[in-house]
Amino acid sequence: MRIAPPFSPLRTAWRAALFFVGIGVGASHAAGMRTWTFDDVPVGKVPPGWRVGATNPQGPLPTWAVVEDPGAPSDGHALAMLRPNHRSAGTFNLCWTDVVSFQDGTVEVKLKALRGHEDQGGGVVWRFRDPDNYYVARFNPLEDNFRLYVVRNGRRHQLASARVHLPAGRWHTLKIVQHGTRFEGDLDGRKLLEGEDDTFEGPGAVGLWTKADAVTAFDNFTVHPDNPR
């Protein structure tokens, strides 16, 4: 039997200080939850442990990088899809990480649509196997909709959709809650999507997504697995 150490006010204060310092860095995590603020990542770089790719690539891979944004929700930095480097309307631009393994729980991000003629906005991917197999939820202010898809073998199938009118050029909060085959999608605190799908039931990576020429900034990317691995 393990005996708990005696209570120490000094030790408790020291741990609390470490916790609050950790919140301000580019990636923090506690009790299985992980948040990327991108504030400790140099401008022009991709965060450590993240990779860039594309679904249905038609040319060079897109350019993702951390940018300065004084209005970013965290503190001045955001991760953005800056240039698609292609003219394909059917290419999905990806930046993902397998630092955490996510099956059930919550994925949340703040995003700001900057520009795009073919598409705008973007969203999150989860239970990500590879650039051709994953779930994605995205908000598109150009089309005034919020949708959830499954991408299998590079082909996208719509699972849920909602009409929503929110302005581009402002920060919005997109959240996905996944439990088993059930999912819910929230936008700015409103539950707009729900449904069920069993295409990918096991854990996978997580990341960020835009389509075609949608240039979008992301901040405060938070992953909270129910059963962290």
Write down the pLDDT at residue 32.
80
11 within a domain of the structure (yes/no): no
The model's pTM = 0.87
Q: Is the pLDDT of residue 2 over 90?
A: no
How many CA atoms are closer than 13 Å to the CA of 21, on its beta-carbon side?
6
Q: Is the pLDDT of residue 3 over 60?
A: no
The total of structural domains in the chain comes to 1
**CATH number for the domain that contains residue 177:** 2.60.120.560
Q: Is the pLDDT of residue 22 over 50?
A: no
The angle subtended at Cα 128 by Cα 124 and Cα 134, nearest 5°, is 75
Distance CA 69, CA 229 (A): 33
98 within a domain of the structure (yes/no): yes
Please state the rounded mean pLDDT for residues 100-115.
97
Residue type, 201: E
202 within a domain of the structure (yes/no): yes
> Each residue of 43-81: pLDDT tens digit?
999 999 999 999 999 999 999 999 999 999 998 999 999
Distance CA 205, CA 50 (A): 10
211 within a domain of the structure (yes/no): yes
Per-chain mean pLDDT for the chain: 89
With cut-offs at 50, 70 and 90, classify the pLDDT of residue 227.
confident
Q: Higher-confidence residue: 17 or 176?
A: 176
Residue 174 near residue 98, CB atoms below 8 Å: no
> Each residue of 139-195: pLDDT tens digit?
999 999 999 999 999 999 999 999 999 999 999 999 999 999 999 999 999 999 999
Residue type, 179: H
183 within a domain of the structure (yes/no): yes
25 within a domain of the structure (yes/no): no
6 within a domain of the structure (yes/no): no
1 within a domain of the structure (yes/no): no
Distance CA 112, CA 78 (A): 10
User: Which range is least confidently modeled, 28-32, 39-43, 101-105?
Assistant: 28-32
Which residue range is the domain that position 159 belongs to?
A: 31-225
Residue 172 near residue 166, CB atoms below 8 Å: yes
Concatenating the DSSP letter of every residue in the chain gives -PPPPPP-HHHHHHHHHHHHHHHTSSEEEETTEEEE--TTSPTT-PPTTEEEEEES--SSPPEEEEEE-TT-SSSSEEEEEEE--S--TT-EEEEEEEEEEESSEEEEEEEEEEE-SS---EEEEEEEEETTEEEEEEEETTTTEEEEEEEETTEEEEEEEEE----TTS-EEEEEEEETTEEEEEETTEEEEEEE--S--S-EEEEEEEETT-EEEEEEEEEEESS--
What percent of the chain is predicted at pLDDT more than 70?
86
